[in-house]
Every structure is written in structure tokens, then in C-alpha cells.
Amino acid sequence: DIVMTQSPDSLAVSLGERATINCKSSQSVFSSFSNKNFLAWYQHKPGQPPKLLINWASTREPGVPDRFSGSGSGTDFTLTISSLQAEDVALYYCHQYFGTHTFGQGTKLEIK
């Protein structure tokens, strides 16, 4: 299975500042056939179901604020929140669907 490793495990950022979460896969999740990266990001708040934010590494879901962006290719990916809002406090997971589904261990995002 493809192992997904996120960094850092936790992150504290001031309101209005940029938050960056990294995700590294043990093998490439890029398909040259489709020219796409099989990588998604989810937000998980306490007491709520996880929420899909981004798929294909950089495609935002409808309704997701544009302060959330995804980037990267191959084995290295980043979720960036350009200006942190209080409601962004959550756990964030990356997920690869190139092979059998696997997830990163999660990154806990807090307000500094």
C-alpha cells in the first residue's frame, strides 16, 4: 500500500496568517494516462463528519472558500490556507486514491 505521511502533526497559526500542511506519498500518485494526481484533502472538525475540500490535488470542491488551495505533484503535496479563520480549526487529512485508499495520519490545526 502507498504510505501517506503528513507534516507537521500539529500546527498553530495566528488568525489571518498562512497555514501550510504537507503530505508525502511513498510512491507517485500521478497518472500519466489521465495527467492527474490522485490526491484529495479533507477537513475534520470535532463532532462533525469529515468534509472533502480538494480532489485531483488542486481542484476545490464547490462551496469551499478560495483561501483553501492544493498544490503539488507526484509524491509531494501541500494544502495551503492563505488567511486562517477561526472556523478553520480542525484536523486535516490527505488521501490517495491511486491505489488502495490510504490516508495521512492527520494534521491538527490550531489558532496561535
Which residues of this protein are in contact with other proteins, per CB under 8 A? 36, 38, 40, 42, 47-52, 55-56, 61, 93, 95, 97, 100-106
Nearest to other proteins of 39, 81 (CB atom): 39
User: Under a CB-based contact definition with an 8 Å cutoff, are residues 71 and 54 in contact?
Assistant: no
Nearest to other proteins of 16, 49 (CB atom): 49
- In the complex, least distance from residue 1 CB atom to other proteins, rounded to whole angstroms: 8
Nearest to other proteins of 23, 84 (CB atom): 23
Q: Which of 79, 107, 98 is nearest to 39 (CA)?
A: 98
| Chain position carrying cell 505521511 | 5
Question: CA-to-CA distance for 103 and 27, rounded, in angstroms?
Answer: 13
Phi and psi (nearest 5°) for 75? -120, -10
- In the complex, least distance from residue 35 CB atom to other proteins, rounded to whole angstroms: 13
